Amino acid sequence: MLNSNLNLSTLPESTFTYQFVNSALLFPCMEYQRLLRTEKVASIAENFSEYIANDPKVSFRDGRYYVFDGQNTVEARRACNGGKDLPIRCKVFLGLSKEDEATLFALQTGISTCLTAGERLRANLVARNPDAIHFVRATVDTGVEFAYDGIRAAWKIYCIETAYELYKQYGRERYIEMLNIINEAWRGNVDAYLAGVIRGVTRFISVYEGEYDRERLVQQLARTHPKTITQLAQKDTGSSANRHMRQILRIYNGASREMSLPLKN
């Protein structure tokens, strides 16, 4: 996610050396780094082998060694050494800024560094990726935030990948309108930001643009729990967006003939 706009040509010329650095001197930059996953470290340490272990990638900046790729590997090597610090062979890059490190962190694809959507988005923000900044700004302006920690909560979007997909596919204005309608209808209900619901609402306002009554849509949606929409959509066929849109159309129409809208694909 958000990788298509990362331009590696903006990074300084690649200058690096291989150095043995004591693990006590290796630090993660917490502005873009993930929290250490102890279970992942234990798994790497248990199956550790020099045949597959990679050298951690490190940025030497402001007199300190910042690990931007391989934090778990560093901790696994320390664990294999009885929890004691030890020299670790690292690929040390020179001349990188914090933003450069965040860009490279966001591009990690190794088996030991699979990033969540929240971690990748946060790294792209530190890297000052314009697309990430505009996407987040559009979202936050509606009163909604992202669940960067992966924990579902009120007024937070957990399905970050889906939200970004809708932002790109339907454009900023429809994306914002979708969130505003959901906010007004369900007042931050945690289930209102499920992937199917935000897909369905976005699809509805796109298909019926200029035809639906906004006030009626908000009022009708408010009478139905968002989880009900997803449950009914599971029994339907077609794409997730269309299945959820049809449920929203049914709710919008209600028993009214005068306000009823026809089914569209």
Fold of 8-128: 3.90.1530
* Section 151-161 average pLDDT: 92
pLDDT of 210 higher than 70: yes
Tell me the C-alpha distance between 80 and 43, whole Å.
Answer: 11
pLDDT of 8 higher than 90: no
Share of residues in the chain with pLDDT > 90 (%): 62
pLDDT of 43 higher than 50: yes
Task: Note the pLDDT of residue 115.
Answer: 61
pLDDT of 255 higher than 70: yes
Task: Note the pLDDT of residue 93.
Answer: 95
Q: What is the band of 34 on the pLDDT scale with cuts at 50, 70, 90?
A: low
Task: Note the pLDDT of residue 1.
Answer: 46
Q: What is the band of 14 on the pLDDT scale with cuts at 50, 70, 90?
A: confident
Q: What is the band of 156 on the pLDDT scale with cuts at 50, 70, 90?
A: very high
Task: Note the pLDDT of residue 246.
Answer: 96
pLDDT of 222 higher than 90: yes
Share of residues in the chain with pLDDT > 70 (%): 92
Task: Note the pLDDT of residue 198.
Answer: 97
CA distances from 125 to 80, 86, 91, 128, 201 (A): 34, 33, 25, 5, 27
Of residues 143 and 10, more confidence is placed in 143
List the strands of the sheet with 26-28, edge to edge: 16-22, 87-94, 57-61, 64-69, 26-28
CA distances from 70 to 66, 98, 251 (A): 10, 16, 50
Q: What is the band of 5 on the pLDDT scale with cuts at 50, 70, 90?
A: very low
Domain residue spans in the chain? Answer: 8-128, 131-253
Q: What is the band of 38 on the pLDDT scale with cuts at 50, 70, 90?
A: confident
Task: Note the pLDDT of residue 110.
Answer: 45
SS (H, E, C) the chain: CCCCCCCHHHCCCCCEEEEEEEHHHEEECCCCCCCCCHHHHHHHHHCCCCCCCCCCEEEEECCEEEEEECHHHHHHHHHHCCCCCCEEEEEEEECCCHHHHHHHHHCCCCCCCCCCHHHHHHHHHHCCCHHHHHHHHHHHCCCCEECCCCCCCCCEECCHHHHHHHHHHHCHHHHHHHHHHHHHHHCCCHHHHCHHHHHHHHHHHHHCCCCCCHHHHHHHHHCCCHHHHHHHHCCCCCCHHHHHHHHHHHHHHCCCCCCCCCCCC
Q: What is the band of 4 on the pLDDT scale with cuts at 50, 70, 90?
A: very low
